[in-house]
Homo-oligomer: A and B are copies of this chain.
Amino acid sequence: MSQADFGRLELELAEVEMPGLISCRTEFGPSQPFKGARITGSLHMTIQTAVLIETLTALGAEVRWCSCNIFSTQDHAAAAIARDSAAVFAWKGETLQEYWWCTERALDWGPGGGPDLIVDDGGDATLLIHEGVKAEEEYEKTATDNAEFQIVLTIIRDGLKGDPKKYHKMKERLVGVSEETTTGVKRLYQMQANGTLLFPAINVNDSVTKSKFDNLYGCRHSLPDGLMRATDVMIAGKVAVICGYGDVGKGCAAAMKQAGARVIVTEIDPICALQALMEGLQVLTLEDVVSEADIFCTTTGNKDIIMVDHMRKMKNNAIVCNIGHFDNEIDMHGLETFPGVKRITIKPQTDRWVFPDTKSGVIVLAEGRLMNLGCATGHPSFVMSCSFTNQVIAQLELWNERSSGKYEKKVYVLPKHLDEKVAALHLGKLGAKLTKLTKDQSDYISIPVEGPYKPAHYRY
Q: List chain A positions with a Cβ less than 8 A from chain B.
A: 1, 6, 9-10, 13-14, 16-17, 47, 186, 189-190, 206, 208-209, 211-213, 217, 220-221, 224-225, 228-229, 231-239, 247, 257-263, 266-286, 288, 292, 301-304, 316-317, 344-347, 352, 363, 376-377, 379-383, 386, 413, 419-421, 423-424, 426-427, 430-438, 440-441, 444-446, 451, 453-457, 459-460
Contact = CB atoms under 8 A, between A and B. Distances in A.
Contact of A263 (B10, B236, B280): B280
Contacts of A190: 446
B269 A233 contact: no
Contacts of A434: 267-268, 270, 273, 283, 285
A359 to B, nearest CB: 12
A381 B234 contact: yes
8 contacts: A190-B446, A208-B459, A224-B225, A271-B419, A283-B430, A285-B433, A302-B445, A457-B457
B283 A220 contact: no
B273 A427 contact: yes
Q: Report whether over half of chain A's contact residues are helix, strand or loop; otherwise say mixed.
A: mixed
A79 to B, nearest CB: 14
A383 B278 CA distance: 10
Given A228-B376, A268-B436, 19 more contacts: A9-B346, A9-B352, A10-B346, A13-B352, A14-B232, A16-B317, A209-B274, A221-B234, A224-B224, A228-B228, A233-B381, A237-B274, A262-B280, A273-B423, A274-B427, A283-B433, A301-B445, A302-B445, A304-B441
Nearest to A279: B260
